[in-house]
Chains A and B, each alone.
Chain A
C-alpha cells in the first residue's frame, strides 16, 4: 500500500536538499529558554524519531515546524518555504505538513468521515463528493471504513487516533508530524496505531515522530534524536541507541536505562 502517489517518489529522489531544515532555532517562553540552538535537517522520506524526558522541549520543537509555536531565533525552512510572519507562507506550510496529536483532537461535532473530508473541502476546494470519496478511501487504509458515520465520542481511542491520521493524510501532506500519538492509548490499542504508522513510513512519507515506543523506533526510524533541556544531545541511527556497547552521553544513558528498564 502506498499512501503517497508513486510519481511523487520519483520526484523525491530528485530532491537534493533536506525537506526540513532547522538552523540555530531558539525559543523562549517568557524568560524560560525552551529550545536552545536546535539545528536539524530531515531528508525526504526520512523517518526521524525524537525521544527525551518529559519537558525537554520535544513537543515545542515539532510544533515549531508547522508554526503552531513561533520561534524567536534561527531559521526553519520546510519544503523550500521559510517560516516567517507571512500568513501565506504559514498557510502553505501547514498544507504540506500533517500533524497528529497525543489527545487526537478530533472534531466532536462531526462524524469520522466529515472530520477527514472537512479540510480538503474548505482549503483545497474539493467538492463534497470528491472529498468524501477520498476520505472513505483513507478510512479504509487506516482500517476503519465501517466507523465512517460515527461521531468521535462513539469510537475507541485507537480508532480515534487512526481517524486523526486519516484526517491529516487527507490534505496530502509531504511531511507528517506525530506528537506522542500512542501515549493516551490503552496498551491494547497502541499496536493498531503503530501499524498504521509503520505502513505510512514504508510508503515513503517523511515523518518526525515524538514517541517512547522503542520498538517502533528500532523498526522504522532512520534516525533517532535525543533531546534534553531544549538541546539535541545525541543523534544517530537506531542501532546506535539500542546497542549496549557504545558510549552515550551520560543523560542519554540515564534516559535509556530508565526507558529500557520499563520494557
Chain B
C-alpha cells in the first residue's frame, strides 16, 4: 500500500510522560442511574418520544385503575364470594376436604422444590414470608391504627324527597355488635351546610342517601340554571349580531335548553323572575368581555338561591332520642338524648355479643330530619350460617330481629352501601383488611405446608441420601408424592364409599399380581399353550369376581357381564404380558411377590365383602360418611378449573403418547385412524369439542347421559389435549437422532423396549416446555366451560352479579378472576422454567 516514492516517515521525538495523574471520576452522566436513564430512555429523540408516550399511557391506565380500586369499586362482591370463586357451590361441610388437598399439594410443592431446584433464590422464601406476614399483620395494624368507618343513619318521621325519590328514615335498625365495644353516636360536622352534605361519603342508609342527593341536586341545579340562562342569552346575542341568520345553537339545541330552563325554574325558582329577565337581557348584549359575562353570571347566581336542604329539614337542629335494645327488644342501656350544639357524643357500652336495636326518634310532632354518625355500627350480610358484620367479618348465627310493622330492619349491605368516593382509610379498613382476614388462614396454612415440605425433604436427604447422590431421598419422596397427588385429590374431592375404594385398590393390586404370576410362568418355561390358558383363566376368574362384587357388598344386582369383562381384561392382559416379557428374577422371589400381591388383593376384596355382609347398616353408613360422595355438579370456580386442567392433562398424557406412537407406526390400520383423530381435534375449536362431549357421549349409550356434566367435560378435554400433546410428543420423538434407535436395536432390545426406555423418555424431556404451555393454556381455556353449563370462574362472576347486592360488580369480578388466572399461570410457568434449568428436563441432553 505504501508508495515507495513517499519520503520515509520521520522518527518521532522522544517523549516520556512522568506525570502520574490520580484517576478521575467519569462524567456524572456516564454512571449510575443517570447513565441508565440517558442510554435506555432518552438515547435518541425517537426513544425519548416513545418513552414519554409510554409513560403517559401507563400512567393514565394505572392512575385510573388505582382510583377506581380505592374510591369506587365494590370489593365486598369479591370478599363475600371468595368461597364461590374457590370451590363453587361445594357444600360447606366438605370444604375441609379441599383444605386437606391444598395442604397436601403445598407439601408436595415444598418437597419438589427441595428435590429439584438446584439453587433456591432467597427471594422466594422471603417473598412467601412477606406474604404470610402481610396477611397477618396488615389487618391487625389497620384495625389498631385506623378508626372504624362510621355508618350514617337518618332519623325523623317525615319523608325525605329528592326529585322523584322519597324515603322515610327507619325508626329503628338492627345491627350486630360485640361485647365491650362502645357505640358512639354524634351529629356529623359536614351536615352543617348543603355543600358538606353533597360531598359526604361513607356507609349511609337510604334516607341519608336521599338527603345527600337532594343537596347535591340542589347545588348542581342552581349552577345549571345560571349556565342555561347564560347560554341562551349569548345565543341571542349572536342572533342579533348576525341579523337573525344564525346563533350559537342549533334550532334543536335551543329548544332543548328552553325546556331544561323551564324544568329548572320549577325546581330552583329564582327570587325574582323580573330581575332574572333584566339580567338575561344584559347578558344578551352582543359585545361582552368574558369578565363582564362572569360578573353578570355571579349576579344571576345570587338571585337563584332556593332554601337549603339543611334548612328544609332542619337537619340536626333538634334533639334525637336514642334507645339501645337487645335482639329481643328489651332495653340494653338507659335512654339518651343527643342534643344539637353539645360537643359530647352519646355512648353506649355493648354488654354482650349479638344483635342490638337502635331506636332513634325526634321529639313528637317535630318536622324534619337528623343524620347520625354512628361508630360501631356496620352493615351486615346474610350467609347460610348466620349474619356477618362487614366491618370485621364477625359472624353471628341465627336470624336477625324484625318487627311485624316493618319499622325495624337489619342494616343490610344492600340498603346501606358506601356512597361517594371512598377515602384510602375506608378502603383499607373495609376491604383490604377484610379480604386478608377471609384468606388469612388458607394463605398461612399453605405457605407453612410448603415450608414444612421443604424442611422435611432436606431432613430426609440429610438422613438417608448417600453422599454421591445427595438428593436421592428427597427425589424419591417427591416422586411418590407426585404419583400420590392425583389419587389423593380424587379421593378427597370426589369422595366415595371406603368399601368401593378398597375394591378398586384390590383391582389394581390384582393386576400387579397377575403380571408377577405371568413372569413366574415365563421363568418356569411354560409352553405357549399353558401361558394362553393361564390368560383365559385369569379373565374368567377376575370377570366372575367383579360381576359378583357389587351384589356381595351392597346387595346390588350383579354387574353386567360386559362391564365385568372390561374390568377383568387388564388383569388378563397383565398376566399375558408378564408371561411373554419375562424377567431374570429368581423363582423364589417371584413366588413371594405373587403370594404377597395376591394375598393383599384377596384381602382388599374380601374385607369390603365381609364388611358389607356383617356390619349393620348404620355402621356401613358411617363408614360411607367419612368421605361421602360429592356431586360434581357442585364443583365450581378455581376447584373446577384446576380439576379439569390437572386431570385433563394427566389423563391426556398416556392417550397423547399412544396417538403419537400410532401416528409414527408403519401399519396403515393404526396410523391413519390416529392421524384422523389428531387432525380432526386440532382442526376444531375447544368449545366445539366440549359440546361434542356433552352431546355425543349420550349417543354412544343412553346411560352415559347420567355421567355428571363435569366428567363429560373432562372426557372432551382429555381428547382435545391428547391431540395436541400427541403432536408435541411426535415432535419430540422426531428430534431424537436416529443413532439412538440404532444403538438400542444393536443391543438386541426389541422395538417396543427401544421406544419405552430410550426414545420416549428423551422425547418427553424434550417437550416439557411445550407440555407446560399446554397445561397453562388449558387452565386458561377452562373459562369456556361456562358454555356447557359448568360453574367455572367466569360463570361464577355471572352468578355473583345475579345477587341483588352485587348487580353492578361485574367489573370487580372480572378483575379478580384475571388476577387468579394470571398469578397461577405465571407461577406455573416460573416453576417449570426453574425445573428445566435444574437439569432434570431437556437440559440433560448433550
A interface residues, Cβ below 8 angstroms from B: 66, 68, 91, 94-95, 97-99, 101, 103, 105-109, 118-119, 121-127, 130, 149, 151-153, 164, 167-168, 171
Among B468, B585, B746, B758, the residue within 8 A (CB) of A107 is B758
Q: Is the C-beta of B425 less than 8 angstroms from some C-beta in chain A?
A: no
Smallest distance from the beta carbon of B345 to chain A beta carbons, Å? 76
Residues from chain B with Cβ under 8 Å of A105 in the complex: 737, 739-740, 742-743
Within 8 A of A (CB), among B747-783: 747-750, 753, 757-758, 761-762, 765
Inter-chain CA distance A151–B740, complex, in Å, is 15
| Beta-carbon contact of B582 and A94 below 8 Å | no
Best-buried of B583, B747, B753, B845 by chain A (most CB within 10 Å): B747
Smallest distance from the beta carbon of A93 to chain B beta carbons, Å? 9
Q: Is the C-beta of B469 less than 8 angstroms from some C-beta in chain A?
A: yes
| Beta-carbon contact of B743 and A101 below 8 Å | yes
| Beta-carbon contact of B846 and A152 below 8 Å | yes
| Beta-carbon contact of A119 and B748 below 8 Å | yes
| Beta-carbon contact of B844 and A108 below 8 Å | yes
Total inter-chain residue pairs, C-beta < 8 Å? 77
Are A121 and B584 also in contact (CB < 8 A) when A91-B750, A108-B845, A149-B469 are?
yes
| Beta-carbon contact of A153 and B845 below 8 Å | yes
Q: Is the C-beta of B314 less than 8 angstroms from some C-beta in chain A?
A: no
Inter-chain CA distance A84–B846, complex, in Å, is 36
Residues from chain B with Cβ under 8 Å of A99 in the complex: 743, 746
Closest to A123 in B: B748
Smallest distance from the beta carbon of B475 to chain A beta carbons, Å? 14
Beyond known contacts A119-B748, A125-B584: 7 more, CB 8 A cutoff: A97-B746, A99-B746, A107-B762, A109-B762, A109-B845, A123-B748, A125-B583
Inter-chain CA distance A99–B221, complex, in Å, is 97
Residues from chain B with Cβ under 8 Å of A95 in the complex: 748
Residues from chain A with Cβ under 8 Å of B737 in the complex: 103, 105
Smallest distance from the beta carbon of A98 to chain B beta carbons, Å? 7
| Beta-carbon contact of B469 and A126 below 8 Å | no
Among A91, A107, A109, A126, the residue within 8 A (CB) of B743 is A107
| Beta-carbon contact of B746 and A94 below 8 Å | yes
Inter-chain CA distance A121–B758, complex, in Å, is 14
Smallest distance from the beta carbon of A178 to chain B beta carbons, Å? 12
Are A94 and B468 also in contact (CB < 8 A) when A127-B584, A130-B584, A153-B845 are?
no
Residues from chain B with Cβ under 8 Å of A118 in the complex: 747, 749, 757
Closest to A130 in B: B584
Residues from chain B with Cβ under 8 Å of A109 in the complex: 761-762, 765, 844-845
Residues from chain B with Cβ under 8 Å of A126 in the complex: 584
Contact with A along B765-803 (1 / 0, CB 8 A): 100000000000000000000000000000000000000
| Beta-carbon contact of B584 and A66 below 8 Å | no
Residues from chain A with Cβ under 8 Å of B582 in the complex: 125
Inter-chain CA distance A167–B749, complex, in Å, is 13
Inter-chain CA distance A99–B739, complex, in Å, is 12
Inter-chain CA distance A213–B381, complex, in Å, is 89
Inter-chain CA distance A153–B844, complex, in Å, is 7
Residues from chain A with Cβ under 8 Å of B748 in the complex: 91, 94-95, 119, 123, 171
Inter-chain CA distance A108–B843, complex, in Å, is 10
Are A122 and B749 also in contact (CB < 8 A) when A149-B468, A149-B469, A152-B846 are?
yes
| Beta-carbon contact of A171 and B747 below 8 Å | yes
Are A151 and B749 also in contact (CB < 8 A) when A101-B742, A109-B761, A127-B585 are?
no
Inter-chain CA distance A66–B739, complex, in Å, is 15
Q: List, sorted by A's number, 17 A–B pairs whose CB atoms are closer than 8 Å.
A: A68-B745, A94-B747, A98-B746, A99-B743, A105-B737, A105-B743, A106-B743, A107-B740, A107-B743, A108-B762, A109-B762, A109-B765, A122-B757, A127-B585, A153-B844, A164-B743, A171-B747
Contact with A along B579-619 (1 / 0, CB 8 A): 00011110000000000000000000000000000000000
Residues from chain B with Cβ under 8 Å of A123 in the complex: 747-749, 753
Inter-chain CA distance A168–B745, complex, in Å, is 11
Residues from chain A with Cβ under 8 Å of B844 in the complex: 108-109, 151, 153
Inter-chain CA distance A101–B740, complex, in Å, is 11
Closest to A124 in B: B584
Residues from chain A with Cβ under 8 Å of B739 in the complex: 101, 103, 105
Inter-chain CA distance A105–B827, complex, in Å, is 37
Residues from chain A with Cβ under 8 Å of B749 in the complex: 118-119, 122-123
Smallest distance from the beta carbon of B525 to chain A beta carbons, Å? 13
Smallest distance from the beta carbon of A242 to chain B beta carbons, Å? 31
Within 8 A of A (CB), among B706-750: 737, 739-740, 742-750
Inter-chain CA distance A125–B750, complex, in Å, is 13
Residues from chain B with Cβ under 8 Å of A106 in the complex: 743
| Beta-carbon contact of B846 and A153 below 8 Å | yes
Smallest distance from the beta carbon of B528 to chain A beta carbons, Å? 13
Residues from chain A with Cβ under 8 Å of B743 in the complex: 99, 101, 105-107, 164
Inter-chain CA distance A120–B752, complex, in Å, is 16
Closest to A170 in B: B747
Closest to B743 in A: A105
Smallest distance from the beta carbon of A104 to chain B beta carbons, Å? 8
Smallest distance from the beta carbon of A168 to chain B beta carbons, Å? 7
Among B468, B740, B747, B765, the residue within 8 A (CB) of A119 is B747
Within 8 A of A (CB), among B548-597: 582-585
Inter-chain CA distance A115–B700, complex, in Å, is 47
Residues from chain A with Cβ under 8 Å of B585 in the complex: 125, 127
Residues from chain A with Cβ under 8 Å of B744 in the complex: 107
Inter-chain CA distance A97–B844, complex, in Å, is 29
Inter-chain CA distance A123–B744, complex, in Å, is 11
Inter-chain CA distance A140–B682, complex, in Å, is 52
| Beta-carbon contact of B740 and A66 below 8 Å | no
Inter-chain CA distance A119–B845, complex, in Å, is 20
Smallest distance from the beta carbon of A40 to chain B beta carbons, Å? 20
Are A94 and B742 also in contact (CB < 8 A) when A124-B584, A130-B584 are?
no
Inter-chain CA distance A124–B747, complex, in Å, is 11
Inter-chain CA distance A108–B846, complex, in Å, is 7
Inter-chain CA distance A125–B589, complex, in Å, is 14
Inter-chain CA distance A126–B749, complex, in Å, is 14
Smallest distance from the beta carbon of B414 to chain A beta carbons, Å? 62
| Beta-carbon contact of A168 and B765 below 8 Å | no
Residues from chain B with Cβ under 8 Å of A124 in the complex: 584
Inter-chain CA distance A122–B751, complex, in Å, is 12
Residues from chain B with Cβ under 8 Å of A94 in the complex: 745-748
Closest to B582 in A: A125
Inter-chain CA distance A199–B765, complex, in Å, is 38
Which 4 A-B pairs have CB atoms at the shortest separation, nearest pair first?
A125-B584, A105-B743, A119-B747, A105-B739
Inter-chain CA distance A192–B749, complex, in Å, is 28
Inter-chain CA distance A170–B351, complex, in Å, is 86
Residues from chain B with Cβ under 8 Å of A66 in the complex: 746
Residues from chain A with Cβ under 8 Å of B740 in the complex: 105, 107
Contact with A along B803-815 (1 / 0, CB 8 A): 0000000000000
Smallest distance from the beta carbon of B517 to chain A beta carbons, Å? 16
Closest to A87 in B: B750
Closest to B741 in A: A105
Inter-chain CA distance A107–B845, complex, in Å, is 9
Residues from chain B with Cβ under 8 Å of A91 in the complex: 748, 750
Closest to B843 in A: A153
Smallest distance from the beta carbon of B469 to chain A beta carbons, Å? 7
Within 8 A of A (CB), among B426-469: 468-469
Contact with A along B312-335 (1 / 0, CB 8 A): 000000000000000000000000
Inter-chain CA distance A244–B582, complex, in Å, is 57
Smallest distance from the beta carbon of B744 to chain A beta carbons, Å? 8
Inter-chain CA distance A153–B585, complex, in Å, is 32
